Amino acid sequence: MAKVLKGKPVAQDIIKGTQQTVEDLNKINVFPKLTIVRVGDDPSSISYETAAIKTMNQVGIEVESVVFDSNVEVETVIQAIEELNRDYAVHGILVMQPLPASIDRNDIARHIQPTKDIDGLTPMNLGRVVENDPTTLEPSTPRAVMALLAYYNIGIEGKDICVIGSSPVVGKPLTVMLLNAEATVTNLHIKSKDVKKYTKEADIIISATGATELVTADYIKEGAVVIDVGFGYKDGKPVGDVKYDEVSKKASAITPVPGGVGSITTAILAEQVTQAAWMMRSDEDSGH
């Protein structure tokens, strides 16, 4: 039976370190603050916002929410973001997704100041991921996957890894981050002809599609590590991309859903708020 890679101990480890960083910042009169921007009342957005607020409160980061109706003009949202960019008291900006169909995610991302972009949405921060810049504010879910692999001492260097899913939020940046860690990475997506041809050779399979129970036991080789980043519902129960019961019998290690990668992301966001606060303080000290 596979080792269960639970997210909670990873998150607690990150939170412990972040609490210490907040204390260190407070000593030099820096009080980290996050502003959450939400448009509309999508239930998954509200749930994630609630979880983020809880984590920020836990580590001592001030947090506020700016909420707009789903029919708001895009210019109004952009204006609010630009005001937050100029507000020296705000260190991090988090835009909840999904946005309503009338608002383009890329349009919003381009207006967030990269040094406050704690979810790694901006073109500049995504470019810095490609450059392997260690100071980059990275997309939170890929960073959570990397944190989970590191916590459980799952080696990446030289491994054959399959990432299923090519979204700009998870699949693409995660593929680059794994390449930066010197893995051999195959990215599979909806147009890939023969997914199993690649997954059956992989040492590590990471699925981030949102297609519930897509990955079955015949997708993986004996002893592979399986990381499930998907989330959906089947028969009213939360499930991931992986058919857990059958895959866990064949894998050497597997993440549960819920309780896996998703439970780490808000801890990553808190960590990146403190990272942004340090960077802002350093810029002030150097006169920028």
Region 187-210: mean pLDDT is 95
- Identify whether residues 164 and 244 lie together within a single domain: yes
Residue 220 placed within a domain: yes
> In this model, does residue 217 exceed pLDDT 80?
yes
- Identify whether residues 180 and 252 lie together within a single domain: yes
Nearest to residue 63, comparing CAs of 72, 71, 54? 54
Residue 34 placed within a domain: yes
Question: Residue 44's pLDDT is what?
Answer: 86
Question: Residue 288's pLDDT is what?
Answer: 52
- Identify whether residues 224 and 183 lie together within a single domain: yes
Question: Residue 286's pLDDT is what?
Answer: 58
Q: Retrieve residue 219's tokens.
A: 């997708």
* Domain final residue, candidates 113, 129, 163: 113
- Identify whether residues 76 and 147 lie together within a single domain: no
Between 17 and 233, residue with greater pLDDT: 17
HSE, side-chain direction, 13 A CA sphere, residue 163: 23
* Domain final residue, candidates 95, 113, 131: 113
- Identify whether residues 249 and 148 lie together within a single domain: yes
Region 38-42: mean pLDDT is 94
Residue 269, class by beta-carbon neighbours within 10 Å (0-12 exposed, 13-18 middle, 19+ buried)?
Answer: buried
- Identify whether residues 99 and 39 lie together within a single domain: yes
Question: Residue 70's pLDDT is what?
Answer: 94
- Identify whether residues 78 and 184 lie together within a single domain: no
- Identify whether residues 105 and 156 lie together within a single domain: no
Radius of gyration of the chain (CA): 19
**What's the domain count of the chain?**
2
Region 205-230: mean pLDDT is 96
Residue 235 placed within a domain: yes
Region 106-135: mean pLDDT is 96
Write out pLDDT tens, residues 266-276.
999 999 999 99
Region 15-35: mean pLDDT is 97
Q: How much is the pTM?
A: 0.95
- Identify whether residues 175 and 233 lie together within a single domain: yes
- Identify whether residues 159 and 68 lie together within a single domain: no
* Confidence category of residue 249, pLDDT binned at 50, 70, 90: very high
Region 118-137: mean pLDDT is 95
Residue 249 placed within a domain: yes
Contacts of residue 138, Cβ cutoff 8 Å, sequence gap at least 6: 120, 125, 129, 173, 177, 272
Region 13-40: mean pLDDT is 97
Query: Helix 171-180 to helix 123-130 angle, to the nearest 10 degrees?
Result: 30
Domain residue limits at 99: 29-113
Write out pLDDT tens, residues 92-112.
999 999 899 999 999 999 999
Region 160-173: mean pLDDT is 96
- Identify whether residues 200 and 91 lie together within a single domain: no
Region 149-163: mean pLDDT is 98
Residue 176 placed within a domain: yes
> In this model, does residue 287 exceed pLDDT 80?
no
Residue 10 placed within a domain: no
Residue 217 placed within a domain: yes
> In this model, does residue 171 exceed pLDDT 70?
yes
Question: Residue 285's pLDDT is what?
Answer: 65
Residue 281, class by beta-carbon neighbours within 10 Å (0-12 exposed, 13-18 middle, 19+ buried)?
Answer: middle
Q: What is the mean pLDDT of the chain?
A: 95
Query: pLDDT above 70 covers what percent of the chain?
Result: 98
Region 242-264: mean pLDDT is 96
Region 86-93: mean pLDDT is 97
Residue 146 placed within a domain: yes
CATH label of the domain that carries residue 51: 3.40.50.10860
CATH label of the domain that carries residue 232: 3.40.50.720
- Identify whether residues 76 and 150 lie together within a single domain: no
* Domain final residue, candidates 76, 98, 113: 113
